[in-house]
Structure formats: C-alpha cells, structure tokens
Amino acid sequence: MKYIFVTGGVVSSLGKGLTAAALGALLEMRGLTVRIQKFDPYLNVDPGTMSPYQHGEVYVLEDGAETDLDLGHYERFTSGKLSRLNNLTSGQVYETVIQKERRGAYLGKTVQVIPHVTNEIKDRITMAAKDVDVLITEIGGTTGDIEGLPFLEALRQFALEQGPRDVIFLHVTLVPFLAAAGELKTKPTQQSVAKLREIGIQPHVLVCRSEHPLDPSVRDKLSMFCNVPVKAVIECCDVKSIYELPLALQNEGLDQLVVDLFGLQKPQPDKNVWADLSRRINNPAHSVRIGVVGKYIELQDAYKSVYESVTHAGIANNARVELVRVDAEDLEKRGGTVLLKGLDGILVPGGFGDRGTEGKIAAARYARENGVPYYGLCLGLQIAVIEFSRNVLKLKGANSTEFDPATPHPVINMMEEQKKVIDKGATMRLGSYECALTPGSRAAKAYKAESIRERHRHRYEVNNAYVGQLQRGGLLVSGINPRRNLVEIVELKDHPFFVAVQFHPEFQSKPLQAHPLFAAFVFAALHSKKPSKTAKSSTPAKASKAAKLAKPAKAAEPAKPAAKKTAPARAAGTEATAPAPDSSGTTAEKAEKSLDHPKASQPDKTTKPGKATKSPKAGKKD
C-alpha cells in the first residue's frame, strides 16, 4: 500500500485538489487503483450548511455525504466512486473524540490532541486505503494555519509508522513573479517548506504554481534551499483547461517520479487518453452559447460541477461552449429578458431561498415560449413547474411553499418527512436514489435505459396533487422514484429540448464520459441555434447588467452541425452513457424505505483553480 500526502503553502486556492486529481488520473493510466480523500481543518462537521460565498458548491456523494467541491475533481479525473470516508473535517474528528470520551472509551485517561485526535486522523487514512494501490490525501488550508497542525502531526506519525518507501509528501506552493524586479521569487516557497520541516515533514516533491516558467537557476535554488532533488521541482503554470493539467504534469515527469520513489514497475501506456482529450478540447468543430441563470453567478465555484458538466457535454458534441452567466435578479427588472437573447440554451441550476426566483421563472417562460432549449436542475425543475402552472394552467399565484407558504396553489411542497426536521445539517433528501424512466421519453432516449440512479440534495418536491393537472396540460412526467412515487423528471414534448430534473446529474459527469442529459442538452442547443457569431472561449462570461449582451470577439465561422441527428453522447469520440444502475441500494435509499427519515447520521466525516473567497454582496445572505 502506498500513500501520497498533498499539502499547500504560501497561499490558499493554489489548486491542491486539482493537482491531487490530475496525479491520480496519471497513476490510474499506469494501471494502479487510486483513491483520493480530503482533510479539511475547519470546525464545521461538513460544508452542508455553509454559504456558497464562503465555500463554493457542496458536492454530494452516492451515500449522501455533503462534501468539499474538491471531491468533485477527484471523481471527475479518476474512476473510483467516493464515500463519506473520503472527506474528514476537524469538526468530525473532535465530535468523534468527545463522543468516545463520554462513553468512557478512553478508560479514564486525559484526552489530548496527541495521541487521541491524531489517532482518529490516522484511523481515517487506514479506512480509506482499503482495496486500492495508492491513497492520495489532500490537506486543506495552508501550512502554518493553526487548525491544520493536528493533521500535519498525524501525517508525520503515519509516515514514520509506514516506512520511507511507502509515503510521499507532495507540497504545492507558489513561486510569485514580481514585475518591479522582473524575476520569480523563491523565498515564499523556502519559508513554507521550512514550516513543514519544523513539524518534522520533509517534502519529496515541490509542485510550483507560477505564471511564468521556471528557469534552471530557479529550480536549482529551490532544490538547494528546500532539500529536494532538482527533478522533483515540478513546474505547474496555468493551463487553458483544467483537463490539460494531467498532460502538463506528465510532461514535467511527475508520474514517473512518483512510481520511481515508490519503487514500482508501472510503465506509461501506449495510449494517452488525456492527450487525446486535450486535442479535442482545443480543436472543436462547433460553438454554442449556454446561459446559466442563477443568483451566485459572480462566484466561479458556486456552480462548479454544472460548469464542468456543460464543458464535458461540449467535448462530447465536438463543440466549444461559451458559458454566459446571467444574474437571475437582473431578469426581474423591466425588459430584463433581453439578456437571454442570443443564447442557444438556458440552464437553471439548483439553489435555496427566494432571491432571484422570479427571474428564473422568467427565464423558463422565455425558453418555453421561444423554443430555446431549457435544462433545469433540482430547483430548476421546481421553477419550470411553477412557470408552467402559472402561464399554461392559469393557476394564479402558483408557487412553492418555500417561497410563499400561503400560496393558493402549492405546486411545490415540502416533503412530508421533512416537515418535522429541525436541524439543518445533513437532514435533506441526500444521496443516490432510483428513477424509473417513461419509455419513449426524451430522458429515456438520452439515458438509453429504463431505470437510472442519480444524486439528490433537496427538501421540496412536486406536489402530487397537481401531477394529473400538469400532465393533462402537456407537461410530461418522464421520471419518477418508484418507491415513493415522487416526480424526478419533467419535459415538454413539442419543444426542441425542455427537460428538468429534481436531482443533480452534474455530480456524475466526467470529461471522458459526459452525462447523457447534459450531452443531449448541448446537442439540442447546437441543432436549434440561430445563426450568430461564434463564441471565442469556454470561460464563463457574466451577462451585462445593462440591457444588452457583450458581443464576443468574432472567431472563425465553425462548420455547421451535421443535419443527421446522431446520439449526442457519441459525438467527438466520447460516448456518454447513463451511470451504471446499482441494484444494491445506497445508505440514503435504505433510510428512505422506512419513510421514517430521522436526522441523518453525521458523516464521518488549471484554468485557475481555487476556492471561492469573494465577499458577498450587501444584503445577500442565502
């Protein structure tokens, strides 16, 4: 068993998670089984109750664990499915230690950080390492943070217990460029490594984040002052797409260095899937503009998995996607829907609270009435149902009880078992659940399956008392949970693409295997788009708050999509199929079978990579 510990220095948001994920992808390509876990030093038990302004998105795992967004990178880059064992916080550690002390598990001993807290951390490493060749553990935060010290001490102890050929410490650090001096500065990295060495950890590899290439003299200096071989000083500059990172690190020899340090005989394969993917990303035949209508659009990480899934769908359709971020509140203004003109598709992601809700409803109506492909995720389904109820069924005042408890037509209502829930943390409908698809529906055709499993994170559902009326009005319920008869997917028949889901399909999309619904959405956007200027890049661009869209720089006109409509998942050599059904059932589903749903047990818990650190706008608390 081999272990890699990834630490970070100088500043946060350097991309430790992406580095760990890319290294895992390279090791998997060499035939090793890899699992990645994240240790977060904050005192929250999990990020489930944290604002996107503080933490970015919450990534939900199969078993319902609410985790750090870096676990999304781990699952996108590697093949393994993760569980609550793969995300540990200080909150979980101290909660477990105190519970043990209350039960008398320490036999009257004085409970201390060393050994009791550090032993809990080491135990989690051991549990996560079962049935794999290599376990990669990322330590959140920055070396020197006081809350991170118990984790670093635990790693020092663990490395001593395992032996020198079984553990690698990889330190991600910043080598800044000072324009006034016209040179790269190594002192911050030297100081960061010195802090690690004070704790008793000597890094084996330095991954140096920089905006400029490292010349030999800089590498030599880092090698000498940080006590690592020159070949272990790895340059890591920004890349156009995060999916080019594995190739960039491979070109620096990182994966070869790791297998050499472990003494493994694992040669590179003849086929490099990441090189193939990079070529497809950089040479698309088509372009498409997708608008994402949300209320956290100024934060890149708030909808991280959504943005990445749309990118995957673009790759699957041999298309460059220009993501246009539209503030839902801007659509609530008079004439606000002008911001939606020129978009080839509209996506409404998940969210909570009533801020921006009417703007999202306006976006759904615009898409429905103008034949623009619409894709709703979680709240996006509820928005579509509310809009349809108001404007097609003429149910005046139709709404969700989340936004208007006194609505005369509660077409969206809180689930019965949620009405008795008081605590906020880990109490929603979380994790993977079954969804039976209606034969012949657009969803069934996209998935090429009769039953699928998807991940959920919500408290509200479509009110079954209105389902018959919705269906008679023309809104097809094309997916239901068979155990509870809950609405999971709705769609319109006579529309280029109008599909909304109650779950979060973005958590099961990968760059090498786009999610089928995302792929179908982008395919529809390509084939229904109006002639327009092509998008210049796939970087999300915020829609102007003025009543006009910024015009992208004119690019070469792409070839028109073929008239013959082939399955979108097969385009560009990437076959996007439905996630394999799991007949065993998840922890979350087993809890749902009883319909009791007590409080869920607490989990045990580079384009330019980084966490959301932007301060919230005044008055925005949700």
Please state, in angstroms and rounded to a whole number, the distance separating the CA atoms of residues 48 and 591. Answer: 19
Closest by CA position to 257, among listed 227, 226, 224, 234: 234
Q: Give the long-range contacts of residues 390-397, CB within 8 A, separation 24 or more.
A: 390/361, 391/365, 392/473, 392/474, 392/475, 393/469, 393/470, 393/473
The single residue of 57, 402, 506, 592 carrying the catalytic annotation is: 506
- Residue 347: phi and psi, rounded to 5, are -120, 130
Residue 326 near residue 292, CB atoms below 8 Å: yes
Largest CA distance in the chain: 76
Rounded to the nearest 5 percent, the helix, strand and coil shares of the chain are 35, 20, 45
370-406 burial, b if ≥16 CB within 10 A, otherwise e?
Answer: eebbbbbbbbbbbbbbbbbbbeebebeebbbbbbbee
Residue 246 near residue 278, CB atoms below 8 Å: no
Closest by CA position to 152, among listed 204, 187, 117: 117
The single residue of 208, 226, 236, 378 carrying the catalytic annotation is: 378
Our answer to whether residue 557 is catalytic in this structure is no
| C-alpha distances out from residue 274 to 17, 510, 594, Å | 18, 12, 44
Please state, in angstroms and rounded to a whole number, the distance separating the CA atoms of residues 478 and 502. Answer: 12
Q: Which residues contact 561 (CB under 8 A, 6 or more apart)?
A: 286, 526, 527
| C-alpha distances out from residue 393 to 113, 238, 370, 502, Å | 62, 51, 18, 21
Residue 48 near residue 58, CB atoms below 8 Å: yes
Please state, in angstroms and rounded to a whole number, the distance separating the CA atoms of residues 201 and 131. Answer: 27
Our answer to whether residue 504 is catalytic in this structure is yes
Please state, in angstroms and rounded to a whole number, the distance separating the CA atoms of residues 51 and 53. Answer: 5
Residue 166 near residue 1, CB atoms below 8 Å: yes
Q: Environment class of residue 326 by beta-carbon count within 10 Å: exposed (0-12), middle (13-18) or buried (19+)?
A: buried
Q: How far from chain centre, in Å, is Cα 11?
A: 22
| Ordered DSSP codes for 533-580 | PPPS-SS-EEPPSSSSPPPPPP-PPPPPPPSS---GGGGGG----PPP
* Residue 67: strand, helix, or coil: strand
329: amino acid identity, one letter = E
Name the DSSP letter for residue 510: B
Please state, in angstroms and rounded to a whole number, the distance separating the CA atoms of residues 496 and 498. Answer: 7
Q: Environment class of residue 240 by beta-carbon count within 10 Å: exposed (0-12), middle (13-18) or buried (19+)?
A: middle
51, two tokens: 């604002």
Closest by CA position to 596, among listed 420, 455, 460, 412: 420
The single residue of 73, 409, 495, 504 carrying the catalytic annotation is: 504
Which residues belong to the active site? 378, 504, 506
